Amino acid sequence: MPPAATPPHGPAAPTAGARPGVPAPAPARRDHGQAGRPGSAGAGAARDPAPPDAAGEAPAGPGGDGGTLLDRVGRWAPAATPFGIFRLAPLTPADDLTLLTTWMNDPAVAAFWELAGPAGTTARHVHAQLSGDGRSVPCLGLLDGRPMSYWELYRADLDPLARHYPARPHDTGVHLLLGGAADRGRGLGTALLRAVTCLILTHRPRCARVVAEPDVRNVPSVAAFRRAGFHLDAEIDLPDKRAALMVRRRTAPTEPAPARR
């Protein structure tokens, strides 16, 4: 996620209205993740040309929801969680960049995502995905309509990460960060990881595994993934960290809890 595992921190999230779908993601990006406490940072090199198994899969089209490479994330239904109704909304830089930059400049987040700095720093990171072919989709996580987390869903099998583990077609990776201090340390990260994993397995029928790679030193993050149903598959050496490869396999038909209206 990339990093993978705990929701990051950042100043309490300013509220930016919920918005429907948006742009199409792309290549290069770091690996990050979190799930309640600081997340890990990961290696992120520019993506290689899509391997043969991606041939025939159309890139993201107008609307920027990830296209068929990620089964149009922007159209996924919301999911019920113990904390409220959660949904993923593909990032819209014009609306969301200020909020995301604020989160990235929180010291606890910056230590792992390494994106502290002016808005241009965050913009370049996001643009690398939005200008690509749809194999990585940056999203805001909305809880009862409130922007409170940042997610990157990506095709792990088409990512540089695939060089470091036995990837399978359609493996889907997750990075996340929780933006506000009030949303950390109370089990919210674990609940959202469960919800997003369920959404991935429900809306991506060809995906048999969801993966994440938090820094092995990020004990809270690894623990959150475990609580969300992931298991530690291996420890792997990435360019900028030793990562815990966390894997959640599809074991039965998965359907997200229906969202309460």
Q: pLDDT by residue (tens digit) across 7-17? A: 332 333 333 33
First to last CA, the chain: 31
Residue 169 pLDDT? 97
pLDDT tens, 224-236?
999 999 999 999 9
Residue 185 pLDDT? 84
Name the pTM for this structure. 0.76
Average pLDDT score over the chain? 78
Flag whether pLDDT at 244 surpasses 80: yes
Task: Average the pLDDT over 116-137 and give the result.
Answer: 94
In the chain, % of residues over pLDDT 90: 58
Residue 256 pLDDT? 52
Three-point CA angle 260, 10, 98, nearest 5°:
85
Residue 2 pLDDT? 40
DSSP 92-140: -HHHHHHHHHHHHTSHHHHHHH---SSHHHHHHHHHHHHTS-SSEEEEE
**Cα 220 versus chain centre, distance:** 17
Residue 126: band (very low, low, confident or very high) from pLDDT cuts 50, 70, 90: very high
Buried b (16+ CB within 10 A) or exposed e, 148-184: bbbbbbbbbbbbbbbebbebeebbbbbbbbbbbeebb
Is residue 112 within 8 Å of residue 32, measured between CB atoms?
A: yes
Q: Which residues contact 177 (CB under 8 A, 6 or more apart)?
A: 6, 7, 8, 9, 10, 32, 33, 34, 39, 103, 109, 113, 149, 150
Residue 64 pLDDT? 55
CA distance 7 to 218: 11
Flag whether pLDDT at 50 surpasses 80: no
Sign, Cα dihedral of 25, 27, 162, 39: negative
